Amino acid sequence: MPFRINDSLTQRALAVLRIVTAYLLIQHGTAKHFGFPHVAAFDNLVLLSPPGIAGILEIVGGALLLVGLFTRPVAFVLSGLLAFAYFIGHAPRGNVLSPMLNGGEAAVLFCFIFLFMAAAGGGSWSVDARRAPARDRGLLGAAR
């Protein structure tokens, strides 16, 4: 019997991707502002510096994505944040077209995952899916 992929499975997989990605992003923000997990480069971080502002967006945006609230606009803003992080923080190190060589792989992956979420939504296990009118819901109550 072949494995069938349907709307139900797709929406659940999208929700898992959203939750795991948000959890990982929150760790970047907490490392910057709360020192957990500890990253020496973030010691003495100034709150209103570019990395400080990025940390605030990572914590707040990550928390909103974790629960799936305002998923599309938040993911769009975070996609822009990570594109900015790549071109300001990693691309100047050289090898712009090879993020593996300039340490920007995570920024590029986060950027495109968030861009995908901005288009696809948060999946079935999200506050957005529960808030959507019944006529706008797909299978399992996921917002279309």
For residues 90 and 70, what is the distance between their CA atoms, to the nearest angstrom? Answer: 29
- Confidence at 143, pLDDT banded by 50, 70, 90: low
pLDDT in tens, 64-116: 999 999 999 999 999 999 999 999 999 999 999 999 999 999 999 999 999 99
- Confidence at 1, pLDDT banded by 50, 70, 90: low
| 1 domain-assigned | no
pLDDT of 27 reads 97
DSSP secondary structure letter of residue 91: G
| 49 domain-assigned | yes
pLDDT of 56 reads 98
More confidently predicted of 3 and 21: 21
For residues 59 and 118, what is the distance between their CA atoms, to the nearest angstrom? Answer: 18
pLDDT of 136 reads 61
CB atoms within 10 A of CB 139: 14
| 2 domain-assigned | no
- Confidence at 5, pLDDT banded by 50, 70, 90: confident
Q: Provide the domain count of the chain.
A: 1
pLDDT in tens, 20-58: 999 999 999 999 999 999 999 899 999 999 999 999 999
**Domain ranges, residue 132:** 7-141
